[in-house]
Amino acid sequence: MSVDLSQFLQTFFEESFEGLDIMESGLLELDPQHPDTEVLHTVFRAAHSIKGGAGTFGLSAISDFTHRMETLLDRLRAGEQTVTPEVVSALLSAVDCLRGMLEAIKAEQELDSEALSAAQQALDEQLALRDNGAKGGRPGAEQSAPAGSGGLGRRGANAGSSGSGSAPAGAGPEAGEGEQGGGWHIRFEPEAHLLTTGNDPARLFRALSDLGALTVHCESGELPAFEALDPESCCLSWDLELVTGATEAAVREVFEWVEDDAVIEITPLSGSAAPAAEDHGAAAEPAPESAPVAASATAEVEEGAEAAAAAGAAARPAATASSGGTAAATKSKPAKAGARKEAAKKSSSSIRVDTEKIDVLIDMVGELVITQSMLSQIGKEFSADRLEELQDGLAQLERNTRELQESIMRIRMVPISFAYSRLPRIVHDTSRALGKEVEFTMEGEQTELDKTVMEKIIDPLVHLVRNSVDHGIEDPAERQAAGKPGKGKISIEAYHKGGNIIIEIVDDGRGINRDKLLGKARAAGLVEEGEELSDAEVYDLIFHPGLSTHDEATEYSGRGVGMDVVKRNIRSLSGSLNVRSAPGQGTTITISLPLTLSILDGQLFRVGDQTYIVPLVSVIESLQVDGAKVSGVTGRGEVYHWREAYVPIVRLHELFDTEPMRHELSGGLMVIVEDEETYLGVFVDDLLDQQQVVIKSLEANYLRVPGIAGATILGDGTVALILDIAGLVEMSRGGSRQPLIPEREESDEAA
Partner 1 sequence: MVKILAVDDSASMRQMVTYTLKQGGYEVTEAVDGADALAKAKGGQFDLVITDVNMPKMDGITLVRELRALPAFKFTPILLLTTESAPEKKQEGKQAGATGWLVKPFDPDQLINTIKKVVN
Is there binding between residue 348 and partner 1 (CB under 8 A)?
no
**Sole binder of partner 1 in the list 31, 86, 222, 256 (CB under 8 A):** 256
Distance CA 500, CA 520 (A): 34
Binding range to partner 1, per CB under 8 A, among 11-19, 289-297, 391-399, 573-581: 11-19
Is there binding between residue 154 and partner 1 (CB under 8 A)?
yes
Is there binding between residue 196 and partner 1 (CB under 8 A)?
yes
**Sole binder of partner 1 in the list 52, 172, 288, 312 (CB under 8 A):** 52
Q: How far is CA 208 from the centre of its chain?
A: 50
End-to-end CA distance of the chain: 69
Is there binding between residue 8 and partner 1 (CB under 8 A)?
yes
Show contacts with partner 1 in window 630-689 (CB under 8 A).
none
Give the dihedral sign, CA 541/545/547/553.
positive
Show contacts with partner 1 in window 165-184 (CB under 8 A).
165-166
Q: Which amino acid appears at position 650 of this protein? A: V
Strand arrangement, sheet containing 586-594: 438-443, 488-497, 500-507, 586-594, 576-582
Cβ-contact 352, 454 below 8 angstroms: no
Nearer CB in complex with partner 1: 202/276: 202
Question: What minimum distance in Å lies between the beta carbon of 157 and partner 1?
Answer: 9
Q: Which 3 state secondary structure label does DSSP give 268? A: strand
Is there binding between residue 21 and partner 1 (CB under 8 A)?
no
Nearer CB in complex with partner 1: 105/570: 105
**Sole binder of partner 1 in the list 33, 136, 198, 551 (CB under 8 A):** 198
**Sole binder of partner 1 in the list 118, 169, 207, 297 (CB under 8 A):** 207
Is there binding between residue 42 and partner 1 (CB under 8 A)?
yes
Is there binding between residue 12 and partner 1 (CB under 8 A)?
yes
Binding range to partner 1, per CB under 8 A, among 193-201, 481-489, 571-579, 635-643: 193-201
Strand arrangement, sheet containing 708-713: 686-694, 599-607, 610-615, 719-723, 708-713
Cβ-contact 523, 543 below 8 angstroms: no
DSSP conformation letters of 360-392:
HHHHHHHHHHHHHHHHHHHHHT--GGGHHHHHH
Distance CA 186, CA 362 (A): 63
Is there binding between residue 206 and partner 1 (CB under 8 A)?
yes
**Sole binder of partner 1 in the list 238, 257, 556, 656 (CB under 8 A):** 257
**Sole binder of partner 1 in the list 84, 93, 109, 144 (CB under 8 A):** 144
Residues 6+ apart with CB under 8 A from 557: 467, 470, 471, 548, 550
Cβ-contact 13, 347 below 8 angstroms: yes
Nearer CB in complex with partner 1: 4/529: 4
Q: What are phi and psi of 19, to 5 degrees?
A: -60, -40
**Sole binder of partner 1 in the list 84, 129, 148, 187 (CB under 8 A):** 148
Distance CA 677, CA 701 (A): 32
Distance CA 82, CA 87 (A): 8
DSSP state of 469: I
**Sole binder of partner 1 in the list 155, 217, 497, 643 (CB under 8 A):** 155
Is there binding between residue 314 and partner 1 (CB under 8 A)?
no
Binding range to partner 1, per CB under 8 A, among 161-169, 176-184, 454-462, 701-709: 161-169
DSSP element (H, E) containing 506: strand 500-507
Question: What minimum distance in Å lies between the beta carbon of 698 and partner 1?
Answer: 40
Distance CA 93, CA 113 (A): 14
Is there binding between residue 136 and partner 1 (CB under 8 A)?
no
Angle, alpha carbons 162-164-168 (nearest 5°): 50
Distance CA 467, CA 457 (A): 15
Question: What minimum distance in Å lies between the beta carbon of 442 and partner 1?
Answer: 23
Nearer CB in complex with partner 1: 145/368: 145
Beta-strand pair 183-190/262-268: antiparallel
How many residues make contact with partner 1 (CB under 8 A)? 55
Is there binding between residue 53 and partner 1 (CB under 8 A)?
yes
What mask, x for binding partner 1 by CB under 8 A, covers residues 487 to 526? ----------------------------------------
DSSP element (H, E) containing 603: strand 599-607
Is there binding between residue 290 and partner 1 (CB under 8 A)?
no
Q: Which of 402, 373, 181, 173 is nearest to 270 (CA)?
A: 181
Is there binding between residue 360 and partner 1 (CB under 8 A)?
no
Binding range to partner 1, per CB under 8 A, among 191-199, 397-405, 418-426, 619-627: 191-199
Is there binding between residue 55 and partner 1 (CB under 8 A)?
yes
Is there binding between residue 324 and partner 1 (CB under 8 A)?
no
Distance CA 381, CA 478 (A): 83
Is there binding between residue 188 and partner 1 (CB under 8 A)?
no
What mask, x for binding partner 1 by CB under 8 A, covers residues 99 to 128? ------------------------------
Question: What minimum distance in Å lies between the beta carbon of 144 and partner 1?
Answer: 5
Is there binding between residue 162 and partner 1 (CB under 8 A)?
yes
Beta-strand pair 599-607/610-615: antiparallel
Question: What minimum distance in Å lies between the beta carbon of 35 and partner 1?
Answer: 18
Is there binding between residue 158 and partner 1 (CB under 8 A)?
yes
Helix and strand numbers, DSSP H then E, in the chain = 26, 22
Query: Contact positions toward partner 1, by CB under 8 A?
Result: 1-3, 5, 7-9, 11-12, 14-15, 42, 44-45, 48-49, 51-53, 55-56, 58, 63, 138, 140-141, 144-145, 147-149, 151-155, 158-159, 161-162, 165-166, 195-199, 203, 206-207, 232, 256-257, 260-261
